[in-house]
Structure 1
């Protein structure tokens, strides 16, 4: 049974990241606030649905994937700007977290899948 769970989760991650990639392609010319507004419900809905069967390490892996997709989105918007300029424009420190994709108006992308903690309960001794 655990093999089928792992396989279905891998497929779900591939589907989820493909949806995010397609959405970012559609939002190529959109503002950062619009991107955040469109992606937050997708990310949080997926994380809430799979939090009972996916581990925290898998959520961290999803964080890395979305970070790279957002970096690619930002680089395509500003081809002639350097990495430092892009990082300062789109990623900020919010509370105790660094590298948060957020606007100066404090709208932030909730990419931290691990903020929606995994609650998988495997077979126990009870």
Structure 2
């Protein structure tokens, strides 16, 4: 079944659909949603990545890290970046900021363990200086120098911009003849 109505195990009622968790929460008049006529609804709809999909994604990343125990840092980064980029872009249209931060923290912990395992006789400061670099304003980037002085860095979930879906304006329809509106909308 693609979606289920959950009201068990202490969870609030909602729907899980295509990896998204869709729930509605009561909201005051300044934070509430509105219908198409501008009338206040009294609730706010919140769509987030489901806990199950977060867990599956983290387990996939952990499996890649575990299978690359002896691989060079560049090889690990090249295997992880497509996984992180794809998952983060899929959930970039919903409320994902906290989810992205949590996943980045868990991956950081996995990478620290990976790096310390590779150098058991070195102290933590040495390990951090070897594998984490400062790039721009970010002091904790898992990165390495490659040939030609290019830096190969691990992508971060939180660096993916959250771009919410833009609702169709008022009574607009693809069949109303407003080609400028629809072509600019489709271009985005």
Q: Place the TM-score, normalised by the shorter chain, in its bin.
A: 0.7 to 0.9
Give aligned pairs, total: 123
**TM-score, structure 2 length as denominator?**
0.60
Residue deviations 1:42-65, cap 9 Å, x none? 000110111123421111111101
The structure number with the bigger radius of gyration is 2
5+ long unaligned stretches in structure 1: none
5+ long unaligned stretches in structure 2: 1-12, 23-47, 171-188
CA distance in 1, matches of 2:95, 2:56: 15
Say yes or no: does 1:30 pair with 2:71: yes
Matches within 5 A, 1:90-101: 90-101=131-142
Once the two structures are TM-superposed, the CA of residue 2 in structure 1 deviates from its matched residue by: 4.7
* Conservation of the 8 A alpha-carbon contact between 2:49 and 2:96: no
Consecutive aligned runs of 4 or more in structure 1 exceeding 2 Å deviation: 1-4, 118-123
Say yes or no: does 1:108 pair with 2:165: no
Counterparts in 2 of 1:57 and 1:43: CA distance versus 1, 3 Å: same
* Conservation of the 8 A alpha-carbon contact between 1:55 and 1:120: no
CA distance in 2, matches of 1:122, 1:9: 22
Corresponding residue number in structure 2 for 1:14: 55
| CA RMSD across the alignment | 2.2
Flag the structure with higher strand content: 2
Counterparts in 2 of 1:77 and 1:9: CA distance versus 1, 3 Å: same
**TM-score, structure 1 length as denominator?**
0.87
Flag the structure with higher helix content: 1
Picking from 84, 91, 97, the partner of 1:43 is 84
Corresponding residue number in structure 1 for 2:99: 58
CA distance in 2, matches of 1:12, 1:100: 25
Corresponding residue number in structure 2 for 1:117: 161
CA distance in 2, matches of 1:92, 1:104: 10
